[in-house]
Amino acid sequence: MSSTAQLDPTPAAQALSQLDQLKKMTKVVADTGDFDSIKEFAPQDATTNPSLILKAAQMPAYKHLLDEVIARNKSLNLSGKAQLSHIMDDILVSFGTEILKIVPGRVSTETDANLSFDTEGLVGKAHKFIALYQEKGVAKERILIKIASTWEGIRAAGILQKEGINCNMTLLFSLAQAAACADVNAKLISPFVGRILDWYKAKTGKDYAPAEDPGVQSVREIYAYYKKFGYQTEVMGASFRNVGEIFELAGCDALTISPNLLAELKKSTAPMERKLSPAIARESNLDKLELDEKKFRWLFNEDAMAIEKTSEGIRIFAADALKLEKHIAGQL
């Protein structure tokens, strides 16, 4: 066979979808409660929150799951608010259990937004989630307990991590929050890329190229900080508005991505370049933050975007949890 007739390996490499290329450098996580979407994109992990579970619970395809939870809870000696609260927890865990039948890794289950400033309440809720999962035969190693990155939430994560219960610190918008989470050895953080972009666009009226996107820059800084100072906490970018943000964070420990953006990545075979790596991050010019509660609260307060988006996120999740409660109450 002549040299010109030999097979060129390049086209085969280029034939990989951007989603498959991304999976080679970053843990891809599905940001949805829809089982069909999770099956389609074959992520390693999945994340849920009250807004996503509310959306899934209202879909006819999952009505049987809600019916099963309600039927199971009718046999318990509970009524009123206590019954509704237990059903809420059970439905979150039931969705998580079904998701774990699809993904090989972990699922994130979110604590109540109204516990965001209650360390003891968050620890208690995490214990309840783990107990419910264990009743369904799911080991705690496959669960990430999602907690808002408030000072009280970070204290709860510190307690839970010492007990071997892994935490996903959500609603995170600043380096101060990220540093405090790493100091308590949180398993994973979820900095919200798109919501940071939303805030800056609303304040400035400007559009941002992906490389200059404030949300992208925030995650890059946090990633560099963790790698420079040897933290083991995983960085998982979240809340994306476009695939450009994802391209700029390729190589991050993990990225949790909505089904519509996963579909966009799956359709394209254009080359994807790795943008983040531990080796480059370790060379960054960053100082270590020494944080106690006073220093944390001061730095957090100085960041208007982080304060506003954390508060807004807690309110949105609380409102969607209330809608889910009402949906469940209507089925009782």
Which residues participate in catalysis according to the annotation? 146
The residues pairing with 29 across neighbouring beta strands, listed in sequence order, are 45, 256
Beta-strand ranges (E) seen in the chain are 27-31, 45-47, 107-110, 143-148, 167-172, 188-191, 234-237, 254-257
> Dihedral, CA atoms, 256, 261, 266, 267, nearest 10 degrees?
-170
SS3 per residue for 147-191: EECCHHHHHHHHHHHHCCCCEEEEEECCHHHHHHHHHCCCCEEEE
Residues 170 and 66: their CA atoms lie apart, in Å, by 26
Answer yes or no: are the C-beta atoms of 330 and 188 closer than 8 Å: no
Q: How far apart are the first and last CA of the chain?
A: 73
